[in-house]
Structure 1
């Protein structure tokens, strides 16, 4: 119960932070990756422990049972698929996201959990850093997500402002990948792109969390009543929602 509560708390904070993320405040992305990866890792490890409990009637006695995966979310997802395989085909389990964008997201999140979370410290201390996880997210996940957008926002008004002010105003800022923004048109376009990416990224990560949670809940339902396992859905009902509702959410805390 304590572990499920902690995982739920981390997921809630992480997803809410990701929903607020934007190019001007990368702290929201860093915070989102940090909390979300912790929460997701704990849910999947909890599912592995519950799987052992159902299979053998006891919790694993080897303390390294779940720790053998370390922070490798990619490996944990494979392990979770093995737990899913223990369930009936018609079990009440949400489908896992798939596709190139999803694979890129998982790769980035896994790398962040394993070491890229120290990117800023590495830069400050002179260690050869990994790629900035925020820039990498926008490049490998954000730009492909933007390609799925049905309608490109009109920023003609910002171009008009640029024409009016001419060279009387100097703008010097960077986009989500670290590239330069030097006009009102650039800022307007990046603002709208950033909002779209944040919304779709949150939905993608929420679907992955929902899948992991549903596997955990379904596997726990197969346990003997003597196992003492709690009703895990109580800790995660803010995420066990239909797509249409989940996509609209901006907060995920119970």
Structure 2
């Protein structure tokens, strides 16, 4: 792995009563060891997974609004509150990579519109705004991602149908096997979480802990719903 450890610089923290250290998983964090080409961050909204992913992007020099080192544009609330308090350990360090935020992907596509005419060549040769949301995501993965790089993805499933999520799994495998890429992905998708031998870190329960796929809420709730759909709906919809 290029990035093999993330550490919280506790000696730099003056006040644990301020955000983001009021988020339990962040405030109790010590260090995380990354030993797999793919690491998933899972947890409820507000559990801290996107906060940490954004801080990693900040320390890597990626645009925290979404993009790589050379994408300079701004969106509201894109600045990381945690970046100054973490240390990244590399072996070896890489500078190539990309931070994809599903929530600000439109702004990134607009940024590409504003740069010179060759700006689309790394994205399939066609404006991302001229493609459907799902197509534009896959264009990014297929055309912009390449070798010896770290990719940070925040909810990439947001615009992907189940079928396209399966296509994305294949893209991940090819990029890992053929291009020597590393991924850290925050997701709610039980399909993406099923990638073989990936490391899954749960941000629920007040700390960051490794968890098996079958123990994630994403798997258990989805499986229960599919196996007991009528009973499940009756329980939540009827008084």
The two structures share one fold, judged by TM-score above 0.5: no
Going by fraction, where is strand more abundant, 1 or 2?
2
TM-score normalised by the chain length of structure 2: 0.26
Q: Relative contact order, CA 8 A, sep 6+: which one is greater?
A: 1
Going by fraction, where is helix more abundant, 1 or 2?
1
Structure with greater Cα Rg: 1
